[in-house]
Amino acid sequence: MAINFNAALGDGPQILAFREKRGEILAANLANADTPNFKARDLDFKSVLKQTVASGVTMERTHAGHITPPPQQQLFGANLMYRNPSQVSLDGNTVESHVEQAKYAENAVRYQASLSFLSDDFSGMKLAIRGQ
């Protein structure tokens, strides 16, 4: 019997790719904190979820305690959006370093958690293959 990695890993690889791309965007924001007229941007996970739900994808309950998303669900379709600053800068830059640092740190923690979940999935598959 062949192992289907897509079924075994679920949405983990897509979530990891989303977190990686978001980290790149947040790092670019921080790198351009002093660039005049630079506009801070971000990917929004909530918009990805809304797009998925709006496209007619529905969740199906398989057990009273479980909700399983359909296998075709895409998590990497977010729009790159501009961030509205709470304090306007005189040079037109919308990067707020403290906000970007907090979002970057949060994204890094979520990236590490996603990586840990994938590692656990691979450990489980190795255990199943070895039969121990």
Kindly tell me the number of DSSP H helices and DSSP E strands found in the chain.
4, 4
Per-residue pLDDT of the chain (132 residues; tens, 9 = 90+): 566 776 767 777 888 888 898 999 999 999 999 999 999 998 876 766 666 556 555 555 566 666 544 443 333 566 678 888 998 789 999 999 999 999 999 999 999 999 998 888 888 888 878 876
Structure tokens at 1: 């019997």
Query: Which residues is 82 bridged to in the sheet?
Result: 41
What is the C-alpha to C-alpha distance for residues 81 and 85, in angstroms, rounded to an integer?
Answer: 13
Report whether 17 contacts 105 (CB < 8 A).
no
Query: Which residues is 67 bridged to in the sheet?
Result: 61
* Domains of the chain by residue range: 12-130
Q: For the chain, what is the largest distance between any 2 Cα atoms, rounded to a whole number of angstroms?
A: 64
Question: Is the full-model pTM beyond 0.85?
Answer: no
- Rounded to 5 degrees, φ, ψ at 34 are -110, 10
What is the C-alpha to C-alpha distance for residues 95 and 74, in angstroms, rounded to an integer?
Answer: 29
User: Strand, helix or coil at 24?
Assistant: helix
Which pLDDT does position 47 carry in this prediction? 67
